[in-house]
Amino acid sequence: MSLMEKFENFTSADMLEELRRRVRCEEKKDRTMAILVGPPGSGKGTASPQIKQDYCVCHLATGDMLREAVRAGSEMGKAAKAVMERGDLVSDEIVVGIIKENLDKPSCKGGFILDGFPRTLKQAAMLDEILDGQGAKIQSVVNFHVPDEVLVERIVGRRVHPASGRSYHVKFAPPKVEGKDDVTGEPLVHRKDDTEEALRNRLTQFHAQTKPILDHYKPVVATVDATQAIKKVYDEVSKALGPKV
């Protein structure tokens, strides 16, 4: 899709508002530094694009960053590729190195939201050390809480736009056109691991990993009832993150 085609569905008012938003982003003084915590299907993927827009931050999801680093051939990406080709797990040092590479990008000038990281106390300590070296620290940890049984229903109907990370649900948050992304019109994907058996295994691992992280950042943790309507969930997320730009 050409640049011109991408803009065909935007009105002049839309583009003017986007220009104003970008000016506000450039004028933003304080960086937003937050972690999103939540099991698969908890709504992080739905909230993340709006957070990016409202807070002028980059969205750093571990899996996406690893794939992009490998594709781009960065120093850490080459190291990660070598490890993955051997069939080994990517070390904390490589994952944290890729995080650090991304934090220095212009898109993260206004701050960042981390998604899927840190997963261990060691990773949390390494992240804290990086930020401490910049005279900064994590300001908010938003915990998307959803009972496991609710998650099972959510996952079965989930559809994703791979390029942007926008998330939909065939029942709860359907796209305007079935099977198509609202913004680009590109096809949506139903992930192969979005089955009940796979989900329950992931939830067991998630709960074991998450409690120590939430305890580590306890003073700045805000737990959101993610079973509410999307707007109410986002209102609570915004309250936890602070004023928008």
**Which residues are catalytically annotated?**
44, 119, 158, 191, 202
| DSSP strand pairing (158-160 vs 167-169) | antiparallel
SS3 content of the chain, % helix, strand, coil (to 5): 50, 15, 35
* Token representation of residue 3: 């640049």
| DSSP strand pairing (140-145 vs 221-225) | parallel
Q: If you search the block for the tokens 């120093």, which residue do you land on?
A: 75
C-alpha pair distances (Å), 119 with each of 36, 68, 214: 11, 20, 10
Identify the three-state secondary structure at position 150: helix
Contact 210, 202 (CB under 8 A): no
Contact 191, 202 (CB under 8 A): no
* Token representation of residue 136: 């900064």
